[in-house]
Homo-oligomer: A and B are copies of this chain.
Amino acid sequence: MTHPDPKPDEPTGRFAYEGLERIFHEKARLGIMTSLVTHSRGLVFADLKDLCQLTDGNLSRHLQILHEAGFVEIWKGFHKKRPQTLCRVTEGGRQRFLEYINVLETVVQDALKAASGSPSSPKLAEGWSPI
């Protein structure tokens, strides 16, 4: 074997988390993407808004961003003579989001590993002063 312990995604620095794509790493958009991945047939604007507890303007802007990135499709239609917007995640969006989620999983693992280990902080040697 050439590589006893490959560790594919960690060139040099630990805890750098380069894979945490900015576009997904945002409370509101995390909720939107999770909602859309969960409901693969799509969600109308109002339902998505309720699921994610967002205001209209807010959801609109985030959807615009995700759409420009090619991660969600936006379809316009009508329901009872009122306009309706249907949102669906694209296949690419789905994949990239799940990659992001994998990185997030390693973050959680790292943190929990640390938590189980060291209990509490010891005193410092002389010569250090706070603040």
**A127:B17 contact, CB within 8 angstroms:** no
Residues of A contacting B: mostly = mixed
Contact residues on A (Cβ < 8 Å of other chain), bracket: 35 or more
Contacting pair A52 B120 (CB below 8 A): no
Give the docked Cα–Cα distance between A108 and B40 (Å).
Answer: 17
Of A15, A74, A117, A120, the most chain B CB neighbours within 10 A belong to A15
Contact between chains at B13 and A50 (CB < 8 Å): yes
Question: Using a CB-CB cutoff of 8 Å, which residues 7-61 of chain A contact chain B?
Answer: 12-18, 20, 22, 25, 27, 30-35, 37-42, 50-53
Number of identical protomers: 2
Q: How far is the CA of A78 from the CA of B124 in the complex (A)?
A: 13
Provide 21 A-B residue pairs closer than 8 Å at the C-beta atoms, listed in order of the A residue. Answer: A15-B34, A16-B31, A16-B51, A17-B31, A25-B25, A25-B27, A33-B111, A34-B114, A37-B115, A37-B118, A38-B117, A38-B118, A41-B122, A73-B130, A74-B131, A75-B129, A76-B129, A77-B129, A88-B121, A91-B120, A98-B115
